[in-house]
Chains A and B, each alone.
Chain A
Amino acid sequence: MSHSAQDIAERIDQLLSIDFPDREVIDIAYPAFRKHYGAPLSYLAAKALAGVKRGQIVFIATGFVNRPRVDTIIAESDGPVGAAVLARAVHLGLGAVPVILIEEQIIPAMARILHACGLRVLELERAKRCADPSITQDGVAILASPTDWEEAEKQAIRLLQTEDVGAFIAIEKGAANPAGEVLFSRGRKCTPTVGKIDPFVKLCRDKGIPTIGIGDGGNEMGMGNAGGILRSLMKYGDPQYNGGIVPAQETDYVVPVTVSNWGGYGIAAALAALLDRPDLIHDEATERRMLLAASLEGLIDGVTGTTLPTSDGLGEGVHVAIVTMLRAIIGVGVPRTDWPGSAPAG
């Protein structure tokens, strides 16, 4: 079973690391991390999540305020949509309590996307009740992620003291480079506007709580893994660009993808394969609904700056097609066939 899930994850990784927008990042990041970890990266992340117990909290940090020179209310649709898919997967698949960490001003948009994904946003204590299998309610909580370093650390310490935490996931979340600055993917500083999750990740790792980073640009939490290998491989990893975009803090696992949202889908799909629960990957209608919710709440396509339901410069049809392909890869609607001609075992 698990070998076949690993096999399926291989195909998930193959699909999600195709450079559709010709951004010229993923062909550097994916092979580097893949070589380091030696297994499909969506599989390793899903396997770590599979260890989460019912009732435990899974923190999912996301949100990128990415037109600070215009207004700090502007954030992008890449990240929150993938975060919602992950929240849905860990709730339905593991009975975990998903808790989103996001900048305060993006909470309304995040809530709308979660609702489009099927999860009711609730106060944390009430969201916890939804882990009870006798209760028919899909729930999720959202907490504001402080942009102040000290406050962020206090929040992390407090939550780790009071809550039973099963895992921490960061998706499309800027993280500080060795100089303490958070940068956009081409080296511009954006430190003041980013919710700080670096201390949270460090404390989780100290406590042995699995941490996962998902990114597409090189500047996100997780992309500093493998000893910061991207620093020497990526143009803007060079310290001459405000200290370089690659984060200092590492996570246990990283899923580098063409669009960060897809990393969330990929982990959900790998978890679906691992647990033999095809329902853990969302469907095409949900994808369209979430992208529309993001649009209506004013989240922008971070590349084009439009509020239309696109993401990272890719149209709605592309994201929906990715979901269709992921569903087929995990076997939804595809008959299991005893194909001839496969390579003999071993």
Chain B
Amino acid sequence: MQAAAPTDLVVRTCDAIDRLVSIDVPRRGVIDLLYRAAREEAGMPLSLRAAQVLQSGLAGGGIAAIATGWLDRPHVSLNVAETDGPPGAAALARALHVAFGAIPFLFVEQQILEATKAVVHAAGLRCVEPEETLAAKGGSGALHAAAVIALPSDRAQAEAMAADFLVRFDIRAFVAVEKGGENRCGRIRTSRGADTTAALAKADALREACQAKGIPTVGIGDGGNEIGMGRIRDLVADRLRNALGPDGTSDDGVMPHGKTDALIAATVSNWGAYGLSAALAVMLRNPDILHTVEMEEAILRASAAAGFIDGVTGYVGPSADGLPLPVHLSIVRLLRSFVGEEVNTVAWKKYPG
């Protein structure tokens, strides 16, 4: 299905969405660099580009593969993961289901399988077995289903699983939300430059398998080391800390090697996913695609209840990247103004002033 060219209003609104989700609220000092490079590379709002890429794959429905999860205290326990990623993935899962009737399959580390299900449930989708999701489409009682699946941290096993899933299921899009990406040497690094390859699910194996079949891919990140950032590696590697490895090249630095079809660079990866949901809502003129402020609170509280930690503070709580709950609720509140909630754009258009 050929998508219609976006109107000026859609482009303007998506630019505004981009600007909101790329404000460096936590003073991390990297998003300006990443966003500007990505915006220049894309030549259009990042949220719109990603929305178009997903529409190209999912317009007729099908399965959306969403990889997320970051085990970020591996020196303590592989069971500890952060709140940035799963909430965004869950909100986006819901958005893709509402927008296209897609069935979301979330791929995470085995250790956070149950925790992620709790977050997806807070977003309104019922997690069932992958095969069972297919039955949810028909039948007499409505069920908005999703599946959460353990993706191996072993590269070969991940490749085998990806190949198997692509044969068994009608996967039509791939999105990574705050998911460590492999550099040219095959290593995944934290933004501090530490090697964290062993702990993480090998989502790049799934990305590669999807791309080999021509399935569109999107990456969402906030630090430069996530899947998706490969699109701007050559543009920023000389300016992003830890982007260059010991040999002075980016081969073994923090930035991934592989390229997705679209990249969203945002202040907090969750916000990138929310911005993408908002862009889909604007593009398809359906406000329901973007989750509500109430859902956002439910999602973040479910994350905390499931044991996810704020990766910055190290506390379990309804916060992400050091920013407390009200900030995330405000972001969703402001994004909802772009889909017509609490804003009277019509009055502005006819304002005699």
Contact = CB atoms under 8 A, between A and B. Distances in A.
A320 B330 CA distance: 8
Contacts of A329: 23, 25
B353 A335 contact: no
Interface residues of chain A: helix, strand, loop or mixed (majority): loop
B14 to A, nearest CB: 12
B77 interface: no
Interface in B338-353: 338, 341-345, 347-348, 351-353
Interface string A309-346: 01001111110111011001101011111011111100
Contacts of A317: 293, 333, 342
Given A325-B330, A334-B324, A342 B337 contact: no
Contact of A186 (B28, B225, B240, B351): B351
A322 B334 CA distance: 8
A188 interface: yes
A333 B352 contact: no
B324 A341 contact: no
A343 B241 contact: yes
Contacts of B1: none
Contacts of B331: 321, 325
A19 interface: yes
Contacts of A321: 329-331, 333-334
Given A329-B23, A334-B324, A22 B345 contact: yes
A304 B334 contact: no
- Chain A interface extent, by class: 35 or more
Nearest to A336: B27
Contacts of A310: 342, 344
Contacts of B27: 7-8, 331, 336-337, 339
A20 interface: yes
Contacts of A18: 16, 19-20, 334
B331 to A, nearest CB: 8
A188 B353 CA distance: 7
Nearest to A184: B353
A21 B191 contact: no
B193 A21 contact: no
A158 to B, nearest CB: 33
A40 B312 CA distance: 28
B342 A342 contact: no
B353 A186 contact: yes
Contacts of A342: 28-30, 241
Contacts of B20: 15, 18
B348 A341 contact: no
A93 interface: no
A341 B240 CA distance: 6
A335 B29 CA distance: 15
Contacts of A8: 27
Contacts of B24: 11
B192 A314 contact: no
Given A188-B352, A303-B351, A315-B342, A344 B327 contact: no
Contacts of B330: 320-322, 324-325, 328
A339 B342 contact: no
A341 B241 CA distance: 4
Given A20-B334, A188-B352, A303-B344, A341 B23 contact: no
Interface string B289-325: 0000100000000000000000011000000001110
24 contacts: A19-B12, A20-B334, A20-B338, A21-B343, A186-B352, A303-B348, A314-B342, A315-B341, A316-B342, A324-B329, A328-B326, A328-B330, A333-B326, A334-B323, A335-B312, A335-B322, A336-B27, A337-B322, A339-B26, A339-B27, A339-B28, A340-B192, A343-B241, A344-B241
Given A15-B20, A188-B352, A341-B225, 8 more contacts: A18-B16, A20-B16, A20-B338, A303-B351, A336-B27, A337-B28, A341-B192, A341-B242
7 tightest Cβ-Cβ pairs between the two chains A and B: A315-B342, A342-B29, A321-B330, A313-B344, A340-B192, A341-B191, A321-B333
